[in-house]
Amino acid sequence: MFHKEGHTIILIFLFAVIADILLLEYIFSDGLNKVFLQTASIVVLVLVLQFFRNPTRHTTLNDKHIISPVDGKIVNIEKVYEKEYFKDDRIQVSIFMSPLNVHVTRYPISGLVKYSKYHPGKYLVAWHPKSSEKNERTTVVIENNAVGEILYRQIAGAVARRIVNYAKVDKNVIQGKDAGFIKFGSRVDLFLPVDSNLNVKINQSVKGGEDIISEF
């Protein structure tokens, strides 16, 4: 299954690869060069297909669990001052996604969307310490009765040029459901209460929609 945000791009690449293969058949009489270039075109198509894949995830709904919103690696856990919305200290958990990861963003908790804002910005590498504040990004806050408010931030990386965010203010959302997409590389930061019980550590790989980041 492929994410809907990739349907147009996949079709463009599919037609381009078919055209390229047919054109190479016409241009080259040398079988080796022709096969090499045709294979390269197919490899590019396969990479595009794997980037936009959208595997089924089995989320166990639990209002006291904060689950990973994306696939990736935990690259940062620290206490920070969150100045956009909370304006107080929070635990920041940063998850880096390589181009090989699934790039679907999923809601980390069920609840009511209290805040959703897009910020234009730079395209620093996603693991840069300032990318959470300087890069193109969206900030979303969800509230439920068990946890209170938590914030997650989709951050574009050096390659990413489009963030898709489905969270709208006053919308009731369900944990693990599709919350958006970040095209071609990126990172997601979670901002949690300082007394959160974390279930993850630095360099741990996590799976979006399933792995528990914190529980209350």
Query: What is the enclosing helix (H) or strand (E) of 214?
Result: strand 212-215
Q: Is there a catalytic annotation at residue 98?
A: no
Dihedral sign (CA 29, 32, 35, 41): negative
* Greatest extent of the chain over all pairs of C-alpha atoms, in Å: 69
Pairing label, strands 148-156, 172-173? unpaired
Q: How far is CA 212 from CA 47, 64, 168, 197, 216, in A?
A: 29, 10, 24, 10, 11
Strands (E), 29-185: 65-67, 72-82, 88-97, 104-106, 111-119, 137-144, 148-156, 162-165, 172-173, 178-183
10 Å CB burial of residue 135 (0-12, 13-18, 19+) is buried
Separation of first and last alpha carbons in the chain = 33
Query: What is the enclosing helix (H) or strand (E) of 42?
Result: helix 31-51
Q: Of the listed 68, 186, 196, 214, which one is catalytic? A: 186
User: Would you say 188 and 152 are in contact if contact means Cβ atoms under 8 Å apart?
Assistant: yes
Where in the sequence numbering do the catalytic residues fall?
186
